[in-house]
A = this chain, B = another copy of it.
């Protein structure tokens, strides 16, 4: 067993890229894997990361990591392909579980910060190597470097067989998402806007509690375009019983499937309604005149 990183054992190869599906890029990854590891199960996490958006890719990997079984996690969002940025493979112990560590124990991708958040979820980087660069083509490391490396790791080759070791401390990292709070207020970056228009925030319920807003039934959202009350709900459809003045959809705040706070709408896109996008900073604060125990529009809607 190389270093302290656990053996991958049986498992899958998990892929996340910004390649999209309109071209054959993803097919080329699968074909490259299959040539070296014909029996490897391959799971496409998503290939819909916006082009070149390393931060969005990193956050998606962080969301995925706790839900994956053993195997090799490949991330490719790589605007610097072909330059001095290093192709790397990382070893992690896996995330703690009742029956011992689990989850992927090998990560493969560019050294541009994409992988480190997920590696943290998986116990941190305990071993790292630099993958040799291709000599012929330099623009498709997914096909030429990362997929073959993942196939070899899945098949049981030790990390150290793939390239010279590098100091994990030297790996490029990304800034943390914005989160700040005080008495009665909380500021958080929008981490993600999903297909349904839900706005995932860089804050969790405990952050809201720390700001003294944990028991508020309604909070006020301040955003670049104005202010908006948010009803605390447990499910999207609970918002059906509320109706904002002038027929505008009621918006809610719930704890999403990743345990993060999210601004949501029932059968609609909160992102479109508010005109907001990933990366923007929002502020939540207490709603004056709307004590926690009272739902502001419930009366008229029921």
Q: Which residues of B contact A137 (CB under 8 A)?
A: 255-257, 259
Please tell me if A182 contacts chain B, counting CB pairs below 8 Å: no
A235 close to B27 (CB less than 8 A) = no
A282 in the interface (beta carbon within 8 A): no
Q: Which of these, B64, B143, B236, contacts A24 with CB under 8 Å?
A: B64
Q: Bound state CA distance, A51 and B144, in angstroms?
A: 30
Flag whether A244 is at the interface (Cβ < 8 A).
Answer: no
- Which residues of chain A from 42 to 94 have any CB-CB distance to chain B below 8 Å in the complex? 43-48, 51-52, 60, 63-64, 67-69, 79-83
Residues A267 and B52 in contact, CB atoms below 8 Å apart = yes
Give min CB distance, A47 to chain B, whole Å.
7
CB neighbours (8 Å) of A256 from chain B are 137, 139-140
Main DSSP-derived SS at the A contact region: loop
Whether A14 is near chain B, meaning CB under 8 Å from some CB there, is yes
Question: Interface size of A by Cβ–Cβ distance < 8 Å?
Answer: 62
Q: Which residues of A contact B (CB under 8 A)?
A: 10, 12, 14, 16, 19-28, 30-32, 34-35, 38, 41, 43-48, 51-52, 60, 63-64, 67-69, 79-83, 137-140, 143-144, 192, 194-196, 234-238, 254-257, 259, 266-267
Please give 10 more A-B residue pairs, beta carbons under 8 A apart, in addition to A28-B64, A34-B43, A80-B236. Answer: A19-B195, A23-B192, A25-B194, A27-B45, A31-B68, A79-B237, A80-B235, A81-B236, A137-B255, A140-B257
